[in-house]
Amino acid sequence: MTALAPPVPRAPATAVADAATWDTVSTLRAMHVDAAVGVTDDLAGRLARSGPNAVTSHRARVLPALGHQLASPLLGLLVVAAVVSAAVGERGGAATIAVVVVLSVGLGFGNEYRAERAAQALHDQVHHTTVVLRDGRRQEVDVTGLVPGDLVDIALGDVVPADLRLLDVTGLECDESVLTGESVPAIKDTGTVPAGTPLAELTGCALMGTVVAAGSGHGIVVATGAATEFGGVAVGLDTHPLDTRFQVGLRSFSVLLAWVAVVLTTAVLVVNVALGRPLLDAVLFSLAIAVGITPQLLPAVVSSSLAAGSRRLSRRHVLVKRLVCIEDLGDVDVLLTDKTGTLTEGRPVFLRAVPTGDDRPEDVLRWGLRATETTDGTGGNALDRALRAAEPAGSDDAVRLALLPFDHERRLVSALVRTADGTCVVVTKGAPEAVLDRCVDVPSGVAHALAAEFAAGNRVVAVATRTVPGGHALTVDDEHGLTVRGLLVASDPPKDDAADALSRLADLGITVKVVTGDAAPVAVHVCRQLGLGDTVLTGADLAVLDDDELAAALATTSVFARVSPQDKARIVAVQRRTGGGVAFLGDGVNDALALHGADVGISVESATDVAKDAADVILLEKDLGVLADGVTEGRRIFVNTIKYVLMGTSSNVGNMASAAGASLFLGFLPMLPSQILLNNLLYDTSQLAIPTDRADDEQVRRPAHWDIAFIRRFMLVFGPLSSLFDALTFVVLLTVLHAGPTEFRTGWFVESLATQTLVVLAIRTRRVPFWRSRPSLPLVLAAVGVVAVGAVLPATPLARSLGFTPLPAVYYLVLVGFVVGYLLLIEVGKAAFYATASRATAVRPRDPHRHLRRRAARFSVVHRSTR
């Protein structure tokens, strides 16, 4: 596998690097902690000194949200220019500009702040906890409450909660790719390393934010929050909750518009000055045009759509941990899912015991029960609970001496028991292949019986035993030389709604693949029942493929069986490399790694804590159908965002270009700077209703990807269409109405506002508007309302101070004709445009820091005190 590690290994200079050079005893001493008791002294003092174990804050803050609105240099320039113009006597215009700017900023701020509040509310629902030893007691605490000196345990699938010096490990491996770029997990021990050792080789430490890929460990916290290695990286990165991938895509769109604005405004400025017009007027006018072009409200539209989406999903009992997860859902091309507990009920029912020797069926079950982790029907896994529920009457006369718990690598559980007659027996229960591999003299009928059960789609475990001398200690090396006793068969049928849910996902263009620890024939059986493909690869097949071969195999494989937790994660990683958005749906400890690795990890309410902790989205109800709803919601938001973008690039840019052009041949400004800004404010207001709009089926049927080339083409076709009608308006105003400056500006203000606002009703769909695709009521009301405000404004008392004058009624008649003509022409343009539009798959803007951001979100507090 490839190592993406930086070429020059960086020797970290943090607390964890120091601790890596100390032995475990000195570390404990340095932290003033007794390994058997944990932190006892002054916890509050430790917390006050170290600060919360957080690298980011999710508090909705007023000032930064306001700062975002004011950050645009355009706005600054505009205000400066307005102040200058006020100073030289243009009081009225400057005051109007000031008012409109304040209103626009307020609008953007209000929306952004509301979305931040929603993001904070989501965060507040989610808690990541860890178990620590304090005062000699094990207790669960929020990860943000960890302090240096705390003793914590980590196990498969956990995110390491702080920088730890390891005191004890069993087969511990950590995936540190988020910090080092190294995709192969690092093997951990408790030894020391020399000073100056690079980060990737600190084997005696586990680093905050990395994921336990195998085994387990116990360690002492040596650094928290910003003082950790992870903190050093994440704190520098802006982990703002609203920084979503939409925004990343939008950035390239904003850059496109910025270029248009720069070119237009420079041209306007240069030509106006060359024509001898007053410099200040020209500056104000071109700045207003630039403001008119820039989509200031876009971030607010996106974040408030996401916030509304999260509310809608929570009504469907889908919990998204962060707002971004919704757009990630909309972006999914491939869903990888485990089988047990997600596609199936996950509550297996014991069917029968099949002896393979002379035992009676109830004896086989009895042997199996001796090697289960549950003794009273709780704990253990679902299969164990099913066996326990079928326990034969009468108490067991054997005594359990030792137990080796189940793990997903061995796929075995073993117990050492002493039977009534005093013999000691090792009992091993587990995946049939794993058990039979360790058996001697397997009767020939077993394979046949097993194949029959598998073919019926039943879950099967095999039970085997071996007599050992008394005083024996049980280890995994005892799992050999066994005699098979029989098979225990259970059924775990698919959920009622699984087939429906999967076909809805297929309708959304999502490919579903099953990735399970269960046997291939069982997985295939379930997949057939659910209408999924049945081409299989097993864990053993995967082991001989390198990543490129696996990438090629992925295209044709729909079931992965008998795979380990690491295999699951590898399949996710390789699938992501092929470009699409990858979701992983799983509920077990064995799914946690894959959940961490996916673009969006999904879990269910009944899942294990590790899986729920690793997931971004949790389905709180058993109903899998909500998954398709989540995807649709994500895509709907995307589709609506695109509407705003298309509107901005067609009519709006067209109008601004017309204004720029007109200023060149008219003897006066075609619209006053303050009027342009007012026009822009009204237009923006109407767009705030876009998030409520419906999306057509065909629009949500494809994964939501950004396509800047498409947007550019759209602009080049529909921008000029808009300018064409502006030109017609100019002609009518000048030649028919013989308009002076004030009348001209008023007439054009009303026309341009009407065309650029109403165009959304046409471009919101590829179909025939209204008739074939109905817009949402709020959108219609907002669009029509804003046009009405624009139309009556010249007749109100405000008109004078805004530089407007009442228009003759006949002009309104002409205007109606123009608007209708314009919208019809847009329809013709749409038909032609979409007929020739290429179906090229768009490049997906990927946030290179997405895993870092996601990991950082779990170390987030409302108030982060600065140390």
Ligand X SMILES: Nc1ncnc2c1ncn2[C@@H]1O[C@H](COP(=O)(O)OP(=O)(O)OP(=O)(O)O)[C@@H](O)[C@H]1O
Query: What is the Cα–Cα distance from 686 to 676, expressed in whole angstroms?
Result: 16
Q: How far is the CB of 177 from ligand X (least distance, A)?
A: 23
Supply 842's token pair: 């768009």
Return the residue of 54, 65, 300, 383 that touches ligand X, per CB under 6 A.
383
Q: How far is the CB of 557 from ligand X (least distance, A)?
A: 16
Taking a C-beta distance cutoff of 8 angstroms, is the pair 290, 258 a contact?
A: no
Q: Kindly indicate which of the ranges 3-11, 180-188, 425-433, 620-628 contains the residues binding ligand X, using the contact rule CB under 6 A.
A: 425-433
Residue 590 makes contact with ligand X by CB under 6 A:
yes
158 binds, among Mg ion, ligand X, none (CB under 5 to 8 A by kind): none
Residue 59 makes contact with ligand X by CB under 6 A:
no
User: 653-665 and 741-763 are packed helices; what angle lies between their axes, rounded to 10 degrees?
Assistant: 160
**Mask of contacts with ligand X, 126-165, x by CB under 6 A?**
----------------------------------------
The number of beta carbons lying within 10 Å of the beta carbon of residue 836 is 9
Residue 381 makes contact with ligand X by CB under 6 A:
yes
Residue 429 makes contact with ligand X by CB under 6 A:
yes
Supply 627's token pair: 């998954």
Query: What is the Cα–Cα distance from 186 to 202, expressed in whole angstroms?
Result: 9
Residue 588 makes contact with Mg ion by CB under 5 A:
yes
Query: What is the Cα–Cα distance from 105 to 108, expressed in whole angstroms?
Result: 5
The closest of 389, 326, 333, 201 to 616, measured between CA atoms, is: 326
Residue 338 makes contact with Mg ion by CB under 5 A:
yes
Q: Kindly indicate which of the ranges 16-24, 230-238, 522-530, 583-591 contains the residues binding Mg ion, using the contact rule CB under 5 A.
A: 583-591
Q: Kindly indicate which of the ranges 148-156, 378-386, 449-457, 660-668 contains the residues binding ligand X, using the contact rule CB under 6 A.
A: 378-386
For the annotated catalytic residues, the residue numbers are 338
Taking a C-beta distance cutoff of 8 angstroms, is the pair 538, 515 a contact?
A: no
516 binds, among ligand X, Mg ion, none (CB under 5 to 8 A by kind): ligand X
8-state DSSP, 651: I
430 binds, among Mg ion, ligand X, none (CB under 5 to 8 A by kind): ligand X
Return the residue of 340, 372, 640, 641 that touches Mg ion, per CB under 5 A.
340
Q: Considering the complex, state which of residue 180 and residue 340 has its C-beta at the smaller distance from Mg ion.
A: 340
The closest of 324, 309, 178 to 248, measured between CA atoms, is: 324
Q: How far is the CB of 417 from ligand X (least distance, A)?
A: 16
Residue 408 makes contact with ligand X by CB under 6 A:
yes
Taking a C-beta distance cutoff of 8 angstroms, is the pair 132, 150 a contact?
A: yes
Residue 478 makes contact with ligand X by CB under 6 A:
no
Site for ligand X in 772-811 (CB under 6 A): none
User: Left, alpha or beta for 11 (phi > 0: left; psi -120 to 50: alpha)?
Assistant: beta
Which backbone phi and psi does 332 adopt, to 5 degrees?
Answer: -75, 130
Taking a C-beta distance cutoff of 8 angstroms, is the pair 332, 270 a contact?
A: no
Residue 340 makes contact with ligand X by CB under 6 A:
yes
Q: Kindly indicate which of the ranges 123-131, 531-539, 584-592, 779-787 contains the residues binding Mg ion, using the contact rule CB under 5 A.
A: 584-592
**Mask of contacts with ligand X, 435-474, x by CB under 6 A?**
--------------------------x-------------
Q: How far is the CB of 603 from Mg ion (least distance, A)?
A: 11
The number of beta carbons lying within 10 Å of the beta carbon of residue 795 is 13
Taking a C-beta distance cutoff of 8 angstroms, is the pair 37, 133 a contact?
A: yes
Q: Considering the complex, state which of residue 121 and residue 499 has its C-beta at the smaller distance from ligand X.
A: 499
Q: How far is the CB of 351 from ligand X (least distance, A)?
A: 15
Query: What is the Cα–Cα distance from 89 to 809, expressed in whole angstroms?
Result: 35
8-state DSSP, 10: -
Site for ligand X in 484-543 (CB under 6 A): 516-518
Q: Considering the complex, state which of residue 144 and residue 590 has its C-beta at the smaller distance from ligand X.
A: 590
**Mask of contacts with ligand X, 299-338, x by CB under 6 A?**
---------------------------------------x
Residue 411 makes contact with ligand X by CB under 6 A:
yes
Q: Considering the complex, state which of residue 272 and residue 374 has its C-beta at the smaller distance from ligand X.
A: 374
Residue 648 makes contact with Mg ion by CB under 5 A:
no
Q: How far is the CB of 420 from ligand X (least distance, A)?
A: 24
Supply 26's token pair: 């000195």
Taking a C-beta distance cutoff of 8 angstroms, is the pair 557, 537 a contact?
A: yes
User: 547-554 and 565-577 are packed helices; what angle lies between their axes, rounded to 10 degrees?
Assistant: 80
Task: Count the site residues for ligand X by CB under 6 A.
Answer: 20
Which backbone phi and psi does 614 adopt, to 5 degrees?
Answer: -80, -20
CA distances from 295 to 34, 254, 322, 353 (A): 59, 7, 25, 68
Taking a C-beta distance cutoff of 8 angstroms, is the pair 545, 669 a contact?
A: no
Q: How far is the CB of 472 from ligand X (least distance, A)?
A: 21
**Mask of contacts with Mg ion, 294-333, x by CB under 5 A?**
----------------------------------------
Which backbone phi and psi does 476 adopt, to 5 degrees?
Answer: -65, -20
User: Left, alpha or beta for 177 (phi > 0: left; psi -120 to 50: alpha)?
Assistant: alpha
Q: Considering the complex, state which of residue 230 and residue 406 has its C-beta at the smaller distance from ligand X.
A: 406
Taking a C-beta distance cutoff of 8 angstroms, is the pair 248, 254 a contact?
A: no
Task: Count the site residues for Mg ion by CB under 5 A.
Answer: 3
Instruction: Tell me the CB-side half-sphere exposure of residue 838, using CA atoms within 13 A.
Output: 9
Residues that bind Mg ion (CB under 5 A): 338, 340, 588
Footprint on this chain of ligand X (rule: CB under 6 A): 338-341, 381, 383-384, 406, 408, 411, 413, 429-431, 461, 516-518, 588, 590
